[in-house]
Amino acid sequence: MTEPLIELRSIGKRFAGVRALEGVSLAIMPGEIHCLAGENGSGKSTIIKIMSGVYKPDEGEIRIDGKTVPGLTTRESIRHGVQVIYQDFSLFGNLTVAENLALNTALRERRKFVNWRGVRALARRALERLDVDLDLDAEVGSLPTAGKQIVAIARALMSDARLLIMDEPTTALTRHEVDALFRIVHDIQRQGIAVLFVSHKMREMLEISERLTVIRNGRKVVEGPTGDFDEASITRAMTGQDIRDEHYVWIPPAGAAPAPRLEMRGLTLPGAFEDLTLTLRPGEIVGLSGLLGSGRTDMALALFGLETGWTGELRIDGEPLRLRSVQEAIRHGVAYVPEDRLTEGLFLNQSINRNMLASSYEEHARLSVIDRPVVNDLAQRMIAAMHIATPTGEKPVGQLSGGNQQRVVIARWLLTDARVLILNGPTVGVDVGSKAEIHRIIRGLARDKGLSVLMISDDVPELVQNCNRIVLMHRGRFVQELDAATTTEEQVGDLLKGLR
Amino acid sequence: MKPALDTRALINRENNIAQLILITILIFVAMSALNPDKFLRFYNFESITYIFPELGLLSIAMMIAMLTGGIDLSVVGIANLSGILAGSFFHAVLTRQQLSADPAIPQVLVGVAIALGTGLVAGALNGLLIARLKITPILATMGTGQLFTGLALVITGGPAIAGFPKSWAFIGNGALFRLAVPFLIFLVVAGLIAFLLSRTVFGINLMLIGTNPKAAVFAGLRTTRMIFFSYVATGVLGSLAGIILSGRTNAAKADYGTSYLLQAVLIAVLGGTNPAGGRGTVLGVSIAVLALMLLSSGFQIMRFSIHLIDFIWGAFLLLVIAINTYLNRK
Amino acid sequence: MAILQRSEAVIALILLTAMVVIGLINPAFWNLDNLFGLVKSNVVIGIMALGVLLVLLSGGIDVSFPAFAAAALYLTIKAMLATGYQGVVGPFVLATLIGLAFGAINALFVHRFKMIPLIVTLGTGSMVRGFLLGVVGTSMININMMPPALIDFAKTDLVTMTQPDGSQYGLTAMVLVYGAVALLIHLLLRYTIIGRSIYAVGGDAEAARRVGFNLRTTMLVVYCTAGALAGFAGLLHSSMIWLANPRDFVGLELDVIAAVVLGGASIFGGRGSVLGTILGVFMLVMVKNSLIIMKVDTTWQRVVVGVIVIVATAATVWRDRKRRA
Domains of chain B by residue range: 41-329
Please state the ipTM of this predicted complex.
0.82
Query: Which pLDDT value is given to residue A422?
Result: 93
Looking at CATH, the fold of the domain delimited by C2-319 is given as ABC transporter involved in vitamin B12 uptake, BtuC (1.10.3470)
- Inspect the interface and report whether the beta carbons of A92 and C212 lie closer than 8 Å: no
- Inspect the interface and report whether the beta carbons of B321 and C127 lie closer than 8 Å: no
Alpha-carbon distance B182 to A26, whole Å?
71
Binding partners of C (≥3 Cβ pairs within 8 A): A, B
Evaluate the CA torsion angle A300, A301, A305, A307 in order and state its sign: negative
Burial C187-225 (b: 16+ CB within 10 A, else e): ebbeebbbbbbbbbbbbbbebbeebbbebeebbbbbbbb
User: What's the one-letter identity of residue A345?
Assistant: G
How many angstroms separate the CA of residue A331 from the nearest CA in chain C? 30
What confidence tier does A272 reach under pLDDT thresholds 50, 70, 90?
confident
- Inspect the interface and report whether the beta carbons of A399 and B1 lie closer than 8 Å: yes
What confidence tier does A254 reach under pLDDT thresholds 50, 70, 90?
low
CATH architecture under which domain A262-497 falls: 3-Layer(aba) Sandwich (3.40)
Which tens digits make up the pLDDT trace of A41-58?
678 888 988 998 888 899
How many angstroms separate the CA of residue A92 from the nearest CA in chain C? 6
pLDDT of A476 strictly over 70: yes
Query: Minimal Cα distance from A106: which residue of C?
Result: C193
DSSP A405: H
| Angle between helix B181-199 and helix B223-249 axes, rounded to 10 deg | 170
Judged on CB neighbours under 10 Å (0-12, 13-18, 19+), A499 is middle
Residues 6+ apart with CB under 8 A from C208: A92, C197, C200, C201, C215, C218
Judged on CB neighbours under 10 Å (0-12, 13-18, 19+), C295 is exposed
- Inspect the interface and report whether the beta carbons of A361 and B204 lie closer than 8 Å: yes
Identify which of A95, A104, A113 has the shortest CB distance to residue C192.
A113
Average pLDDT (A413-434) is 83
- Inspect the interface and report whether the beta carbons of C122 and B266 lie closer than 8 Å: yes
Cβ contacts of A116 on chain C, cutoff 8 Å: 191
Alpha-carbon distance A156 to A179, whole Å?
20
Domain ranges of chain A: 6-239, 262-497
Instruction: Tell me if chain A has a CB within 8 Å of the CB of C203.
Output: yes
What confidence tier does C325 reach under pLDDT thresholds 50, 70, 90?
very low
Query: Which pLDDT value is given to residue A126?
Result: 86
- Inspect the interface and report whether the beta carbons of C313 and B305 lie closer than 8 Å: no
Long-range contacts of A386-390 (CB under 8 A, 24+ apart): A386/A410, A386/A411, A386/A441, A387/A437, A388/A352, A390/A352
Which tens digits make up the pLDDT trace of A16-35?
667 788 889 999 999 899 99
Instruction: Decide which of A96 and C319 is more confident.
Output: A96
- Inspect the interface and report whether the beta carbons of A338 and B218 lie closer than 8 Å: yes
Query: Which pLDDT value is given to residue A241?
Result: 65
Number of Cα atoms under 13 Å in the Cβ half of residue C314: 16
Burial A329-360 (b: 16+ CB within 10 A, else e): bbebbbbbbbbebeebbbbbbbbbbbbbbbbb
Alpha-carbon distance C107 to A496, whole Å?
54
Instruction: Tell me if chain C has a CB within 8 Å of the CB of A104.
Output: yes
How many angstroms separate the CA of residue A277 from the nearest CA in chain B? 25
Cβ contacts of C211 on chain A, cutoff 8 Å: 90, 103-104, 107
- Inspect the interface and report whether the beta carbons of B208 and A358 lie closer than 8 Å: yes
Domain ranges of chain C: 2-319
How many angstroms separate the CA of residue B48 from the nearest CA in chain C? 22
Residue closest to C79 by CA, chosen among C66, C65, C92, C68: C92
Binding partners of B (≥3 Cβ pairs within 8 A): A, C
User: What's the one-letter identity of residue A273?
Assistant: F
Instruction: Tell me if chain C has a CB within 8 Å of the CB of A108.
Output: yes
Judged on CB neighbours under 10 Å (0-12, 13-18, 19+), A128 is exposed
- Inspect the interface and report whether the beta carbons of A343 and B215 lie closer than 8 Å: yes
Helix (H, G, I), strand (E, B) or coil at A166: strand
Phi, psi at A92, each rounded to 5°: -105, 110
- H helices within chain B, ranges in order? 3-34, 42-67, 75-93, 96-101, 105-127, 137-156, 166-173, 181-199, 201-211, 213-218, 223-249, 260-270, 282-301, 306-329
Q: Please identify among residues 115-144 of chain A the ones whose CB lies closer than 8 Å to any CB of chain C.
A: 116, 142
Residues 6+ apart with CB under 8 A from C172: C36, C39, C40, C43, C154, C156, C157, C158, C240
- Inspect the interface and report whether the beta carbons of C190 and A99 lie closer than 8 Å: no
Helix (H, G, I), strand (E, B) or coil at A41: coil
Judged on CB neighbours under 10 Å (0-12, 13-18, 19+), A35 is buried
Query: Which pLDDT value is given to residue C277?
Result: 95
Domains A6-239 and A262-497 share a fold: yes
pTM: 0.85
- Inspect the interface and report whether the beta carbons of A93 and C190 lie closer than 8 Å: no
How many angstroms separate the CA of residue A114 from the nearest CA in chain C? 5
Instruction: Decide which of A310 and A242 is more confident.
Output: A310
- Inspect the interface and report whether the beta carbons of B218 and A350 lie closer than 8 Å: no
Which tens digits make up the pLDDT trace of B41-94?
888 888 888 889 999 999 999 999 999 989 999 999 999 999 999 988 988 887
How many C-beta atoms lie closer than 10 Å to residue B101's C-beta? 11
CA-CA distances (angstroms) from residue A377 to A304, A384, A497, B240? 28, 11, 48, 38
User: What's the one-letter identity of residue B191?
Assistant: G
How many angstroms separate the CA of residue C58 from the nearest CA in chain B? 16
Query: Which pLDDT value is given to residue C274?
Result: 95
From the candidates C204, C213, C267, which should be mutated to test the interface with A, based on the most A CB atoms within 10 A? Answer: C204
Task: Report yes or no: A302 and A267 within 8 Å, Cβ to Cβ.
Answer: yes
User: What's the one-letter identity of residue C187?
Assistant: L
DSSP H/E element including A51: helix A44-51
Query: Which pLDDT value is given to residue A256?
Result: 66
Q: Are strands A163-167 and A82-85 parallel, antiparallel or unpaired?
A: parallel
Which tens digits make up the pLDDT trace of A438-472?
888 898 888 888 889 999 987 788 888 889 889 98
How many C-beta atoms lie closer than 10 Å to residue C160's C-beta? 9
Residue closest to A443 by CA, chosen among A254, A259, A249, A295: A249
Which tens digits make up the pLDDT trace of A158-208?
878 899 999 888 776 766 778 888 888 888 888 889 999 888 777 778 888
Q: Which CATH number fits domain A6-239: 3.40.1780.10, 3.90.1150.10, 3.30.450.20, 3.40.50.300?
A: 3.40.50.300
Looking at CATH, the fold of the domain delimited by B41-329 is given as ABC transporter involved in vitamin B12 uptake, BtuC (1.10.3470)
Phi, psi at A106, each rounded to 5°: -60, -40
